[in-house]
Amino acid sequence: MADNYLEKREQEIREGRPKAVKPHPSLESLLKKNRSYRGYDASRPITREDLLRLLEVTRWVGSGMNAQPLRYRLVCSEEAARVHPLVKLGAALPEEHLPHPGEEPSAYIVVCSTAPEGKVVDIDLGIAAQSILLKAVEAGFGGIFILNFRADDLREALDLPLQPIAVIGLGKPSESIFFTDAKPGDSLDYYRKGGAHFVPKLKVEDILI
């Protein structure tokens, strides 16, 4: 076998070692960890190779009429500083200026489209972005989907050949995010208390019609 599985296993048995089992996270645990992070640890940057590994998952996702119109620009290292001022994080927290300086995403994936934006392109976008974000969580990173950004300025800053339609911020999260159970009629605004971030979520029985 290409990865020398049999040789490795033989050696494990000879040495009386149990089979090394890599625990695999469930989809539910990845979804729960996949929060919108607005603070990142600058000491653990994301490299271009990391970004390419995350982008790889978009090969396997659906696309309306299989048109595959999305194109991606990877941004990391010093270039990320060009994107920081052009994206707005935490607009629902007017008292805060997020991210705090030094805690910006260490990398971005800027998503563009070769087709005019519309329902099908936007659904493609959501599927691709969520897949990238879940892969990021699986890899020990985290991210945030960003629609509140200055598209024209971003296109110019990165010399993009296409208009950007979304930005995904990525990094090693440095903040804790908790769910709260929301009831219909409650405010669904996310909020911060004691340094932690809280996200109200409706229960299944409240979203059935």
Ligand X SMILES: Cc1cc2nc3c(=O)[nH]c(=O)nc-3n(C[C@H](O)[C@H](O)[C@H](O)COP(=O)(O)O)c2cc1C
Report which secondary-structure segment, H or E, holds 6: helix 5-14
Count of Cβ atoms closer than 10 Å to residue 166 Cβ: 21
Of 34, 87, 89, the C-alpha closest to 201 is 34
Least gap, CB of 98 to ligand X (angstroms): 7
180 binds ligand X (CB under 6 A): no
**Measured from the CB atom, is 88 or 100 closer to ligand X?**
88
Sketch the per residue contact string, 34 through 53, with ligand X: x for CB under 6 A, - otherwise.
-xx-----------------
Among 81, 115, 123, 147, binds ligand X (CB under 6 A): 147
8 Å CB contact between 145 and 166: yes
Sign of CA dihedral 112, 118, 119, 120: negative
Least gap, CB of 155 to ligand X (angstroms): 17
**Measured from the CB atom, is 89 or 134 closer to ligand X?**
89
HEC-encoded secondary structure of 20-55? CCCCCCCHHHHHHHCCECCCECCCCCCCHHHHHHHH
Separation CA 14–CA 12 (nearest Å):
6
132 binds ligand X (CB under 6 A): no
Among 45, 71, 145, 151, binds ligand X (CB under 6 A): 145
Q: For residue 194, what are the CA distances in angstroms to 34, 38, 82?
A: 21, 16, 31
Among 146, 154, 158, 170, binds ligand X (CB under 6 A): 146
8 Å CB contact between 110 and 162: no
Report which secondary-structure segment, H or E, holds 206: helix 204-207
Structure tokens at 119: 């329902």
137 binds ligand X (CB under 6 A): no
Least gap, CB of 74 to ligand X (angstroms): 19
148 binds ligand X (CB under 6 A): yes
- Region near ligand X per CB under 6 A, out of 16-24, 48-56, 58-66, 89-97: 89-97
How many residues bind ligand X, per CB under 6 A?
A: 14
89 binds ligand X (CB under 6 A): yes
Give the residues lining the site for ligand X (CB under 6 A). 35-36, 88-91, 144-148, 177, 190, 199
